[in-house]
Amino acid sequence: MTTISKESAIVTLINVFTVEPEKQKKLIDLLIQATEKTMRHLPGFISANIHRSIDGKQVVNYAQWRSRQDFEAMLKNPAAIPHMQEIASFTKFEPNLYEVVESIGV
Amino acid sequence: MTTISKESAIVTLINVFTVEPEKQKKLIDLLIQATEKTMRHLPGFISANIHRSIDGKQVVNYAQWRSRQDFEAMLKNPAAIPHMQEIASFTKFEPNLYEVVESIGV
């Protein structure tokens, strides 16, 4: 289980993937595989949370890293690059780094 | 504190706002105000989690609703519409509904 809190001094990667609906399942499987095999073992990884859009056209990875430096080191890691290249071959994606500024619950 | 779990039978709204960096703070303030004054009191609201991008150009609201029907009722609620109109006057945004398919932590 992942928690979202503005008290955590972490960075959040929100990566929105656009995909043909018939390939949404394939993308989800590859993201899970990349996370299980590689990402989760890298320094600073905290969590990855894969979301499928109900309309079938998007997938979001909501991921947490200890620091921006850890995230940027992952981007250059030789074990991570082939996963990202495979996914890039059939999707468009827009990753961005965030910090939580407010969390309001009932 | 918000939790992300694939076991929850809820819907997740991920709304990515694009904004001029000098208006990022204004957008965040309006989203917090809309949530505190209106959204959190509507049926089915679970949480809203406001994220600022480190590059200043985006804001993401990661929000949880009990059901798609509750979310769609909010969109038509006369108390919610003025908040959305004010925010739409100076941002672009792309809301989409999701379900969590996998959550992987260390």
Beta partners for A3? B3
pLDDT in tens, A24-51: 999 999 999 999 999 999 999 999 999 9
Chain B closest-CA separation from residue A102 CA (Å): 5
Q: Does A12 touch chain B (CB under 8 A)?
A: yes
d(CA A53, CA B24): 26
Element spanning B69, H or E: helix B68-75
Q: Does A16 touch chain B (CB under 8 A)?
A: yes
CB A45 within 8 A of CB A70: yes
- Torsion from C-alpha of B56, A86, B102, B41, nearest 10 degrees: 30
Backbone angles phi, psi at B58, to 5 degrees: -140, 160
Q: Does B73 touch chain A (CB under 8 A)?
A: no
Beta-carbon count within 10 A of B64 CB: 23
Chain A closest-CA separation from residue B21 CA (Å): 14
pTM of the model: 0.96
Chain B closest-CA separation from residue A7 CA (Å): 9
Specify the pLDDT at position B8: 87
Q: With 0-12 CB in 10 A as exposed, 13-18 as middle and 19+ as buried, what is B6?
A: middle
Of the pLDDT bands very low, low, confident and very high (cuts 50, 70, 90), residue B106 is confident
Of the pLDDT bands very low, low, confident and very high (cuts 50, 70, 90), residue B72 is very high
Type of residue at B57:
K
- The DSSP secondary-structure symbol of A1 reads -
* pLDDT tens for chain A, residues 1 to 106: 899 999 888 999 999 999 999 999 999 999 999 999 999 999 999 999 999 999 999 999 999 999 999 999 999 999 999 999 999 999 999 999 999 999 999 8
Specify the pLDDT at position A8: 87
Residue A97, both tokens: 């780094």
